[in-house]
Amino acid sequence: MYIAIDIGGTKTLVVLFDENKTILGEIRFETPKDYSLFKAELDKAKAALPAYETVMTGAIGCRGAVDRENGVLLADSKLGWQNTPLCTDAKAVFGCKFHLENDAKLAGLSEAHLLDEEVPKVLYITVSTGMNGAFVVDGILDPNTIDAEIGHWLFEHEGKLKHWEDFASGTYLTETFGQRASDLEDESAWRAFTKNLAIGIVNACAAYTPNIVILGGGVGAHHYKYSNYLDDAVSEITPYIVKVPEIVQAKDPERAVINGCYELARQKA
């Protein structure tokens, strides 16, 4: 069995999986900003889960920068946590070794394993409040690019040097067009937005040479609304020497992080 913990800025999800990814128990609670209260909630979660004999390993997904080797969350600006020993404290509660990873990387790992067939190189891009990505090679997170932050790539936009997420994220979409992706139906707005999205995607494909691109996050989950506009925008700017593969929508964006925890725990067991 595996313990998976998805620590979000507002909610935390704790799931007990068996070896076949069957959910045996699931607990959700509001994420306290006081870390001592968070640890108390983990104790409550353990008591509320079904009884189990042996957990092989666990995995934790969280926002922000992580120290994977020592299982420490270096910083989460929303929760205000710094140098937080998440894996050590989770082990004290659940009694097994834990592995820590950034939530966007775990979402990409999960989505790569949900594809209908095995794909050697999968590039996952989350388009949400901010932007991040994951590169999955032969089913595992690529160790050579695991710390990459594609949302912070710099581009010239409207005469200024900006991070990609500053002009292509869900936050930008809402602030510029006054609606979230779920509500936006304006064709001209989507055409303008996808031009911004295409710039980073083409550059990412030039750098990573993926076999498929998966879009996740709040905006990625509505890829079906703007896929044609995005394809047009990508085609307009792609150099002949760069190959942009099929761009698809994430299959399970709501549970991508917790499922990614399962995949990571399974691989590390």
Here the tokens at position 149 are: 């932050």
| Dihedral angle computed from the Cα positions of residues 12, 17, 23 and 25, in that order, rounded to the nearest 10 degrees | -60
CA distance 102 to 62: 5
CA distances from residue 202 to 2, 21, 40, 92 in whole angstroms, order as listed: 37, 35, 45, 45
With respect to residue 173, please indicate whether it lies within any of the assigned structural domains. yes
- How high is the pLDDT of residue 91? 96
> pLDDT by residue (tens digit) across 183-194?
999 999 999 999
For 220, the domain range is 115-250
Helices (H) and strands (E) in the chain, counts: 9, 15
Bridge partners of residue 4, in order along the sequence: 15, 59
- How high is the pLDDT of residue 53? 76
Name the band, by pLDDT with cuts 50, 70 and 90, for residue 55: confident
How far the first Cα of the chain sits from its last, in Å, is: 10
Three-class secondary structure of residue 159 per DSSP: coil
- How high is the pLDDT of residue 68? 96
> pLDDT by residue (tens digit) across 225-252?
999 999 999 999 999 999 999 999 999 9
With respect to residue 54, please indicate whether it lies within any of the assigned structural domains. yes
Residues 120, 227 within the same domain: yes
> pLDDT by residue (tens digit) across 31-48?
999 999 999 999 999 999
CATH of the domain at 137: 3.30.420.40
Name the band, by pLDDT with cuts 50, 70 and 90, for residue 207: very high
pLDDT at 119 over 80: yes
pLDDT at 56 over 90: no
With respect to residue 141, please indicate whether it lies within any of the assigned structural domains. yes
Here the tokens at position 198 are: 């295409």
Residues 156, 137 within the same domain: yes
- How high is the pLDDT of residue 132? 95
- How high is the pLDDT of residue 95? 92
pLDDT, the chain, mean? 96
- How high is the pLDDT of residue 52? 79
CA distance 180 to 187: 14
Residues 137, 82 within the same domain: no
Q: Using a pLDDT cut of 90, give the percent of the chain over it.
A: 95
The position carrying tokens 């092989």 is 56
- How high is the pLDDT of residue 54? 81
Under 8 Å between Cβ of 193 and 101: no
Under 8 Å between Cβ of 155 and 161: yes
- How high is the pLDDT of residue 77? 87
Q: Using a pLDDT cut of 70, give the percent of the chain over it.
A: 100
Residues 52, 123 within the same domain: no
- How high is the pLDDT of residue 73? 97
> pLDDT by residue (tens digit) across 77-116?
889 999 999 999 999 999 999 999 999 999 999 999 999 9
* Domains held by the chain: number: 2
Under 8 Å between Cβ of 252 and 259: yes
CA distance 122 to 118: 10
Under 8 Å between Cβ of 70 and 54: no
> pLDDT by residue (tens digit) across 11-27?
999 999 999 999 999 99
Here the tokens at position 62 are: 């969280």
